[in-house]
Structure 1
Amino acid sequence: MQKKVKETLIKYSMVQSGEHVLVAVSGGADSVALLCVLHYLSGEFDLKLTVAHFNHGLRKEAEEEELFVKTIAQNLGLPCLVGREEVRNLKHLWKCSLEEAARIARYHFLEEAAGACGAKKIALGHNERDQAETVLINILRGTGLKGLKGMEPVRDGLFIRPLLYVSPREITSFLAREGLKFCTDRSNFDQRYLRNRIRHFLLPVLEKEFNPRIVSVLSRMADILREENEYLESAARGIAGRKEDLGTLQELPPALRRRVIKVILEEMRPEGKAVTARHINAVEGVILSPRSNPSVHVPGGVVVKENGILRFHTGKDSKANREGFSYLLSIPGEVRITLTGQVLKANLCLPQDIPNKIDNPNVLYLNLDKIKFPLRVRSWRFGDRMQPLGMRGTKKVKEIFQEMRVPPNRRHEIPLLEDELGILWVSSLKVGERCRLEADAKRLARIEII
């Protein structure tokens, strides 16, 4: 198993020499195996490891599992970060299933923990059978390439899955050979959950009656379709930037046109609303319609063809969203946002002016040598992306709003700071990677929002 994990780490460039990795450990077999194999490989890859455990507060065994993980970390000489949340309360707050609330809260904790300890990667314990289960779940619910590709080995340049090509049998053998103990989560046998019914009923039938290697077959299929999906997604995003160009949309192959429509609608949709095949087909009907001004309602607004141009009107009510705002920011200088009443102040500062711990979310320090001027303060736009501090890839600003529980009607009121290269700061919420301060930084600025 150790050899297979090593090959996966190298093949997908999951880690770089000297990197700090946060290892998500629930206490179950997969996560214990993940932690121990990464610990064994840490010398070879020159990795620094930190353990992270999230207590969902859902089962009476949760406290015992938390103590178990802390003990493993202590025995390995590794630091351990623990998060706790009453997930049942979040379920009602977010109006989603208990499983979804737990997943959102867990991932939010992991990202915050990675930022707190300076980890560049977060290692998750999903294995090959988990991948097969995910593909089958998506098939049963109805899906396209996005669902058939399953889980990615590396997601957003932050989350890595070193066990994704390791079978449960290999994990069990590894644990037994190393004499490692683990916890058993009884909820994994609860037949109310679809994944458990697939794990304990559907997959065994497929293995016995149709193909004993069905798990590996589904895993290989997911790999192939992931690469095809990445190509289509990249092509669609490039075209989506010219979404009003009706002629281009009409001439696209149907598969690519529908992908472009999906990308656009995903950016428009408000939180809690899903984009379905019905919406995509309806917008495609507007694009191809011979009528002069057809229109259709979609999540988040209306799509209409006007005088040969395709327009996307969002249905937000706030004045900030209807009008938006955009101001150039000089250093030193000040910007007053008329629509929201906020003020951004920018001043030059010296290295000794920066506190050892920056705990004011309304203050940002910039290394001016990393900035490509001019600086601009503006409102959020659909499709905005940024590279958060500590993350190698980019993330939708919309997802940041969702994680920080910003109501949809307030998102266009939150100022974004950007330069010519992209977004640097979602004010008071998320700092960008290019705002990382090195010890030798000389030309510095302090930005504050009031």
Structure 2
Amino acid sequence: MEVLNLGNNVPNLEEHARLGRYRAITRCMRDNKFRYAATGHTMDDQAETLIFRLVRGSGLRGMDGIHFKREDGIIRPLLGLTREQISSYARENDIDHVEDETNRDTHFARNLIRHEVIPLMKRINPGVIASTARFANVAREENQVLETMAGELIEDAAELDWGIIKVFNLEGILKRPPAVVKRFVIGVVSNLLAEARGIDSIQVGMIMDVVNGKRSAHNIKRLIRVTRWKNTVVFHAAGPRPFYTLEVCAPGDIYVKEINRTLGVEFKEGEKGPVTIRSWLPGDMMEGRKVSQILYSMGVMSPLRQFWPVIVSRGKVIGMAGMDSERVNMVFK
């Protein structure tokens, strides 16, 4: 048994506890080299989850409910059975069980749904638990279709993908149904944020306004910025600069994971490391010229310039990707 310390004054205790439980389970799996770990979620938990998400305004993506299996190896073998079925089995076979006393505290939204909302719904439809589970299955199947279509759109519309900046052609996007475009938006932002749960419907709506030309830009959690540029929509990292910094001690091929690019670095005669590769910063100068002006003359698209790799030695820019300089040469591989 593991006791989780969640701290005091947690803003969303239920969600914080849920995440804490899963962290503990995955840690136990890792420490013991288990491939799978089973939780006791039932069909009732599925119904409660869907009702909770519906009340919060979730879209179809959230209405596919709890899955039988997660990618990290957590499985839910009891999800097809009701809580009553499991309780009956335990009574008939003299199996003791313990109920967490906090499960009856209706100050928590999930408990309020369990003890007050669902009993009212059962007065309308006694089979509400099973019918809600069936709805989750339908939503899951339709989600798979939308996810496939959105994935195809991400691939078809992509003009540039540097990891922390992604550029898509608007022409193909605007021809697709809104539901597919919204799922496309969720997929791109989820990838940039590295959060599988994505963003809420309000944020999706704001980004759709950018896509449809109703607003010029939108920021997400101060981490991602979405803008229109000419006939494209651009998703890129926001926040403090530089966006990446690497120290290079010797020439050769250097992989920059943030932009998912490999750079070939060559030191010219007399030049020695270490040098620093980082993204361009406002005010950078090289050989008497503004780097921003050089990038413009090179035809680098405006949204990409802030992520462009430059080489710095002793605080001065001595080279940049795609341009031969007096001291170094750096090219994309």
TM range (shorter): 0.5 to 0.7
Distance between the aligned counterparts of 1:99 and 1:301, measured in 2? Answer: 27
2:154 is aligned with 1:276: no
CA drift of 1:160 comes to: 0.8
- Partner of 1:132 in structure 2? 47
Q: Residue 81 of structure 1 corresponds to which residue in structure 2?
A: none
Partners in 2 of 1:381 and 1:158 — Cα distance?
Answer: 30
AA matched with 1:123: A
Deviation of residue 285 (structure 1)? Answer: 2.3
Asked if the contact 1:269/1:275 (under 8 Å) is kept, the reply is no
Secondary structure in 1 matching 2:168: coil
Partner of 1:54: 2
Give TM-score scaled by structure 1 length: 0.50
Which structure 2 residues correspond to residues 34-433 of structure 1 after superposition, within 5 A? Answer: 53-56=1-4, 86-88=5-7, 96-156=11-71, 158-208=73-123, 210-241=124-155, 242=158, 243-269=167-193, 275-289=199-213, 294-299=216-221, 300-319=223-242, 321=243, 323=244, 337-338=246-247, 377-380=255-258
User: How many angstroms does 1:290 deviate by?
Assistant: 8.3
Aligned residues: 246
Q: Is the 8 A contact 1:236 1:260 kept in 2?
A: yes
Distance 1:251 1:135 in 2: 32
Distance verdict in 2 for CA 1:215–1:309, change over 3 Å: same
Change (3 A) 1:119 1:109: same
Q: CA deviation at 1:198?
A: 0.8
Local SS of the residue matching 1:297: strand
Q: Distance in 2 between matches of 1:376 and 1:199?
A: 55
Distance 2:240 2:49 in 1: 38
| Matches of 2:67 and 2:214, distance apart in 1 | 41
What secondary structure, in the 3-state scheme, does the structure 2 residue paired with 1:181 have? coil
Larger RCO (alpha carbons 8 Å, 6+ apart): 1
Post-superposition shift, 1:269?
A: 4.5
The verdict on how the C-alpha distance between 1:211 and 1:111 changes in structure 2, with shifts beyond 3 A counting, is: same
Closer, same or farther: CA 230–381 of 1 in aligned 2, 3 Å: farther
AA aligned to 1:251 is K
- 3-state SS in 2 of match to 1:275: coil
The CA distance in 2 between the partners of 1:152 and 1:256, in whole Å, is 22
Letter in 2 for 1:189: R
Secondary structure at the counterpart of residue 240 of structure 1:
helix
Q: Sequence identity of aligned pairs in percent? A: 25
In structure 1, stretches of 5+ residues that fail to align are 1-52, 57-85, 325-336, 344-374, 383-450
CA contact (8 A) 1:244 1:311 kept: yes
Whole-angstrom CA distance in 1 between matches of 2:255 and 2:227 = 30
Structure 2 gaps, min length 5: 159-166, 261-333
Residue 370 (structure 1) aligns with: none
Question: For 1:376 and 1:100, how far apart are their aligned partners in 2?
Answer: 41
Contact 1:279 1:298 in 2 (8 A): yes
Q: Give CA-to-partner distance per residue, 1:278-317, whole Å, 9 cap, x none.
A: 33223222222289xx333333232222121222232121
Q: CA RMSD in A?
A: 2.8
Tell me if structure 2 keeps the 8 A contact 1:54–1:106.
Answer: no
Change (3 A) 1:87 1:298: closer
Q: What is the distance in 2 between the residues matched to 1:161 and 1:221?
A: 18
For residues 295 and 303 of structure 1, what CA distance do their matches in structure 2 show?
Answer: 5
Q: After superposition, where does 1:4-19 map in structure 2 within 5 Å?
A: none
Q: Distance in 2 between matches of 1:165 and 1:290?
A: 45
Structure 2 partner of 1:420: none
Asked if the contact 1:88/1:98 (under 8 Å) is kept, the reply is no
Does the C-alpha gap of structure 1 residues 198 and 179 become closer, same or farther in structure 2, counting only changes over 3 Å?
same
- Tell me the distance in 1 between the aligned counterparts of 2:214 and 2:117: 47
3-state SS of 1:154 partner: coil
Cα distance between partner residues in 2 of 1:376 and 1:173: 62
